[in-house]
């Protein structure tokens, strides 16, 4: 397995950290889009599983995140549509780097919402989409008042810290929670107002345009997830136009499915779904 690191300059001049894990002879490729406050290296264990099946893995630290925002991540972006442009540019690079093979996209949490929005807006030529605990609907405990005033607050004080994520809800595995808390490339403070508003705006657009999502898709969500709303995945699944769609609901599991005690089973589910589609479309 060959590990590559490089950078990409975005349309608006940001330098984004990119990395890839390459098998000797790729028979497929996948772009991974990480969640809010985290970074791409947290998917190295999933990347290894994929590379072992000869699937090339490409990923990046999003704007405001990880090594794309040194010395310290701030989880800030002013417009989610800039993030979609990043995804589009990088997915095109993936397809050019591993041509004539099936290309997939995996998005977790915020990344899942961004990937869903990207597919709706850009209609990319992807052979399949995997959405893990996607941010498609505000969590039940997000105050209605906060949602109502989010637009105003994001304009007046875009970097005001408004909502802190509870890291104990990441996984049932205390070791995974410890690693999350001690990772200096993770963002550990409350979410900036503008970022929160942009994610709410993204979710509203997805809800309005779900029927325009047509690609093969695998949705994954734990029923015990308190960081993104499982109802969002349920509603999205029922509204999309995809003829090939699957929804795996995992009873009681928390937010980071590939970091739960059951991670081997979940990664096996993801691999099986992708491999079936490689065979169908190759």
Give me the domains of the chain, ranges plus CATH numbers: 2-281 (3.40.50.1820)
Specify whether the CB–CB gap between 31 and 92 falls below 8 A.
no
* Per-residue pLDDT tens over the stretch 152-174: 778 888 898 988 899 999 999 99
pLDDT of residue 150: 75
* Per-residue pLDDT tens over the stretch 232-247: 999 999 999 999 999 9
Mean pLDDT, residues 101-107 taken together: 98
Specify whether the CB–CB gap between 150 and 197 falls below 8 A.
yes
Which of the pair, 208 or 151, is modelled with greater confidence?
Answer: 208
Cβ-count burial of 98 within 10 angstroms (0-12 exposed, 13-18 middle, 19+ buried)?
buried
Across-strand partners of 59?
19, 32
Mean pLDDT, residues 78-94 taken together: 98
| pLDDT confidence bin for 129, thresholds 50/70/90 | very high
pLDDT of residue 141: 66
- Measured distance CA(170)–CA(237) in Å, rounded: 23
pLDDT of residue 139: 79
Specify whether the CB–CB gap between 67 and 123 falls below 8 A.
no
pLDDT at 107 over 60: yes
Beta-strand relationship, 28-33 and 103-108: parallel
pLDDT of residue 90: 98
* Per-residue pLDDT tens over the stretch 143-155: 565 666 677 778 8
């Amino acid at each position: 397995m060959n590990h590559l690191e490089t950078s990409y300059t975005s349309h608006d001049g940001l330098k984004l950290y990119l990395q890839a894990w390459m098998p000797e002879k790729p028979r497929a490729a996948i772009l991974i889009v990480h969640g809010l406050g985290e970074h791409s290296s947290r998917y190295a264990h999933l990347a290894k599983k994929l590379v072992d099946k000869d699937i090339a893995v490409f990923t990046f630290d999003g704007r405001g995140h990880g090594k794309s925002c040194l010395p310290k991540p701030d989880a800030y972006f002013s417009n989610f549509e800039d993030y979609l442009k990043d995804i589009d540019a990088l997915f095109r690079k993936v397809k050019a780097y591993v041509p004539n093979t099936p290309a997939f996209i995996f998005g977790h949490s915020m990344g899942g919402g961004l990937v869903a929005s990207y597919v709706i807006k850009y209609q990319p030529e992807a052979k399949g989409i995997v959405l893990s605990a996607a941010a498609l609907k505000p969590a039940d405990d997000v105050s209605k008042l906060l949602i109502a005033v989010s637009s105003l607050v994001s304009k007046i004080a875009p970097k005001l810290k408004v909502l802190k994520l509870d890291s104990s809800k990441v996984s049932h595995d205390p070791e995974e929670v410890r690693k999350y808390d001690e990772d200096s490339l993770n963002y550990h403070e409350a979410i900036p107002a503008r970022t929160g508003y942009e994610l709410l705006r993204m979710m509203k657009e997805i809800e309005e345009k779900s029927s325009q999502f047509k690609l093969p898709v695998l949705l994954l969500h734990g029923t015990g997830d308190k960081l993104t709303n499982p109802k969002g995945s349920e509603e999205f699944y029922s509204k999309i136009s995809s003829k090939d769609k699957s929804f795996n609901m995992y009873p009681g599991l928390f937010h980071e499915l590939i970091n739960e005690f059951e991670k081997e089973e979940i990664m096996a589910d993801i691999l099986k779904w992708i491999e079936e589609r490689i065979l169908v479309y190759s």
